[in-house]
Amino acid sequence: AQSVAQPEDQVNVAEGNPLTVKCTYSVSGNPYLFWYVQYPNRGLQFLLKYITGDNLVKGSYGFEAEFNKSQTSFHLKKPSALVSDSALYFCAVRDQGKLIFGQGTELSVKP
Amino acid sequence: SAVISQKPSRDICQRGTSLTIQCQVDSQVTMMFWYRQQPGQSLTLIATANQGSEATYESGFVIDKFPISRPNLTFSTLTVSNLSPEDSSIYLCSVDSGVSSYEQYFGPGTRLTVT
């Protein structure tokens, strides 16, 4: 069965510093991977995806993610964090049309 | 991207009653999905709803508890029946972004509290 894991419940970063939110996956076949963000009292917003092609994918709000097949990882990154990036981030994998989500990582960016 | 609305945005219900959640999309879509997000938890798929056919439920979810309707290509409802405090969650609907795009777009969610 397809699955993703987010090993960190919480990530704390100072504003202006680079941020990384980790995700590892376990799939059979080629993975279709996604990152979503959830702000308080709001639905999920799509950030970016990896389907095929370039291992570095760029998404919304300056986020990017690197697909690493040998390490089975798909970490979310941003060169310079903003306080407004503070939110709950979910990694997901597509399996027969449905999304399977990781447990989520709470990102806190302090001024 | 599709614009998805849900009603109600939140509700407080008594144990033993039912709540019906509506999901409206601004474009026609083949499949609609219903997810549950329990407090402090990740999202779990409840069922997939195709227009004109019975919904497909995931393991652990049954039609008697979570009946779903899909009367047309832009609308779906999820009913949570015989409510218990354990049903207190956020319920979200989503749709595929389109052919060969693979991501899903989500509604704002319905926050249900059962007392």
Distance from CA of A8 to the nearest CA of B (A): 13
With H, G, I as helix, E, B as strand and everything else as coil, classify residue A31: coil
pLDDT average, residue stretch A7-15 = 97
From CA B27, how far away is CA B55, in angstroms rounded?
20
Q: Which residues of chain A have a CB within 8 Å of the CB of B43? A: 44, 90, 99, 101
Chain B residue nearest residue A102, CA to CA:
B42
pLDDT at B24: 97
In a domain, B10, yes or no: no
- Is pLDDT at A30 greater than 90 in this prediction? no
Q: Any idea which of A103-107, B32-36, B49-53, B61-65 has the lowest mean pLDDT?
A: B49-53
CB A60 within 8 A of CB A67: no
Question: SS3 string of chain B?
Answer: CCCEEEECCEEEECCCCCEEEEEEECCCCCEEEEEEECCCCCEEEEEEEECCCCCEECCCCCCCCCCEEEEECCEEEEEECCCCHHHCEEEEEEEECCCCCCCEEECCCEEEEEC
Q: Which residues of chain A have a CB within 8 Å of the CB of B48? A: 97-98
pLDDT at A104: 96
Residue A101 and residue B42: Cβ atoms within 8 Å? yes
- The separation between CA A78 and the C-alpha centre of its own chain, rounded to angstroms, equals 11
The domains of chain A, with CATH numbers, are 3-110 (2.60.40.10)
Residue A60 DSSP class: G
- Is pLDDT at A16 greater than 80 in this prediction? yes
pLDDT at B53: 80
In a domain, B103, yes or no: no
The amino acid that residue A45 corresponds to is: Q
- Is pLDDT at B99 greater than 70 in this prediction? no
Phi, psi for A91 (deg, rounded to 5) = -95, 145
Distance from CA of B64 to the nearest CA of A (A): 22
- B87: domain CATH number is 2.60.40.10
In a domain, B114, yes or no: no
Gyration radius of chain B over CA positions? 13
Q: Which residues of chain A have a CB within 8 Å of the CB of B109? A: 42-43
CB B2 within 8 A of CB B68: no
pLDDT tens digits for range A69-81: 999 999 999 999 9
**Alpha carbon separation from A2 to A105, B66, B96 (Å, rounded):** 19, 25, 19
Dig out the tokens for A62 from the structure: 């300056």
Residue A97 and residue B48: Cβ atoms within 8 Å? yes
Helical (H) or strand (E) element with A22: none
From CA B61, how far away is CA B47, in angstroms rounded?
8
Find the length of chain B: 115
- Is pLDDT at B51 greater than 90 in this prediction? no
- Is pLDDT at A66 greater than 70 in this prediction? yes
The amino acid that residue B110 corresponds to is: T
Domain span holding position B65: 20-96
Structural domains of chain B, count: 1
